[in-house]
Amino acid sequence: MSLVKLIKALRYVFVGAFFGIVLTKAEVVAWHKIRAMFYFQEPDLYLIIGSAVATAALLVALAKRFVPRTPFGEPVEVTPKPMHKGVFYGGFLFGVGWFITGTCPGPVYAQLGGGEFFAVFTLIGALAGVYVFAAVKPRLPD
């Protein structure tokens, strides 16, 4: 593998690691913080999501204006998300799962890396869910 290829791969590991450190230090990975969010016991998660969205909106706008390409020449662009029924049905089901496990997809990996062995069950459950989704997808509303 050439050095350029290695760096191209490693940049995703590094940005992912940054994300993992922030999610863990913010305690977004903690079951009790998710419960506290759903029971409106503390505003932290809402403030975190709100300030994350605001910062990301600003940075994405700046990036689109001033950074047309990555250092490796790939285009810097936002992929539009199409409207479909799954955002309602799937979104609702995910919300229930989020409450039960206290964990959304990013934190599943953070819990595993942070030494939370029981997150293995969350991951196995999630992969089973994807497999069943793949099997029934043709019969579901899009």
Partner 1 sequence: MTNLLLNPWPWWLAGPLIGLTVGLLLVLGGRNLGVSSSFRHLCTLAFPKSRLPYLAHNDVRAKAWSLLFVLGLALGAFVAVRFLSYQPVEFLPAHYHSASGALKLLAGGFLVGFGTRWARGCTSGHAIMGLATFQKPSLYAVLSFFAGGLTAAGIALVLNGGLS
Whole-Å CA distances, 113 to 52, 88, 118 = 23, 31, 12
Q: Tell which positions 43-102 bind partner 1, by CB under 8 A.
A: 43-44, 47-60, 62-63, 67, 69-72, 74-84, 86-102
3 near partner 1 (CB under 8 A): no
What single DSSP character describes residue 43? S
CB of 85 to partner 1, least distance (A): 9
Q: What secondary structure letter does DSSP report for 70?
A: -
Nearest to 88 by CA among 130, 137, 141: 141
Min. distance of Cβ 78 from partner 1 in angstroms? 5
Nearest Cα neighbor of 119 from 106, 130, 104, 108 is: 108
Amino acid at 135: A
Question: Minimum distance from CB of 12 to partner 1 (Å)?
Answer: 4
Tell me, rounded to whole angstroms, the distance of Cα 70 from its chain centroid. Answer: 22
Q: Which of 3, 65, 106, 139 binds partner 1 (CB under 8 A)?
A: 106
Site mask, partner 1, residues 114-133, x = CB under 8 A? xxx-xx-xxxxxxxxxxxxx
Map residues 10-29 to x or -, x wherever contact with partner 1 holds by CB under 8 A: xxxxxxxxxxxxxxxxxxxx
Number of residues interacting with partner 1: please give it, by CB under 8 A: 111
What span, in angstroms and rounded, lies between the C-alpha atoms of 38 and 136? 30
Residue among 2, 30, 65, 139 that touches partner 1 (CB under 8 A): 30
Output DSSP code: residue 31.
H
CB of 65 to partner 1, least distance (A): 12
